[in-house]
């Protein structure tokens, strides 16, 4: 398990196999951006446990510097987990890649997240996966905050396939 502290209040818990699978989408060559959603559980200790994530679909919009979830699959993915778990597993965030070592959110990213939060829950988080690090974005007191994790630090701390 990987533990990422968002702030003094919330912690994201990522199973190792999910973390490994997400790293496979890094844009190490000329691959297009990839992305999807996270489903998971909010635990009583203020941890957010990632249960699974959706992968990019053929009918999503993908280019070197853009990803847009246009496939209805992502909504169905969240709805299926929600229904089968009687509401205990739900949408907890989104992810996508950027072709940069240390990722930062673009204006387009922030605008998209603002809309998602206004339509859903302000406790959602957003992960951008770069080449060497990942950055988790979240809202706190109406301001965007972020937590950066370097993959080399995680890979040295936990056992992963490289």
8 Å CB contact between 73 and 57: yes
What residues contact residue 81 under an 8 Å CB cut-off, 6+ apart? 39, 51, 52, 89, 90
Please, how many CA atoms are within 13 Å of residue 47, restricted to the half-sphere of its CB?
A: 12
What residues contact residue 141 under an 8 Å CB cut-off, 6+ apart? none
Dist CA 129 CA 27 (whole Å): 9
8 Å CB contact between 53 and 22: yes
Vertex 103 angle, CA 97 and 108, to 5°: 70
Q: Is 116 left (phi over 0), alpha (psi -120 to 50) or beta?
A: alpha
Active site residues: 33
């Amino acid at each position: 398990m990987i533990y990422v502290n968002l702030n003094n209040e919330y912690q994201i818990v990522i199973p190792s196999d999910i973390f490994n699978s997400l790293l496979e989408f890094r844009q190490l060559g000329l691959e297009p951006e990839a992305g999807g959603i996270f489903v998971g559980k909010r635990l009583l200790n203020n941890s957010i446990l990632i249960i699974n994530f959706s992968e990019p679909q053929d009918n999503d919009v993908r280019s070197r510097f853009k990803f847009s979830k246009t496939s209805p699959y992502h909504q169905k993915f969240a709805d299926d987990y929600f229904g089968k778990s009687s509401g205990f597993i739900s949408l907890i965030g989104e992810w996508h890649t950027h072709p940069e070592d240390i990722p930062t959110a673009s204006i387009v990213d922030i605008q998209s997240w603002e809309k998602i939060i206004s339509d859903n829950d302000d406790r959602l988080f957003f992960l951008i996966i770069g080449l060497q690090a990942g950055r988790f974005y979240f809202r706190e007191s109406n301001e965007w905050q972020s937590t950066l994790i370097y993959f080399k630090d995680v890979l040295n701390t936990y056992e992963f396939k490289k």
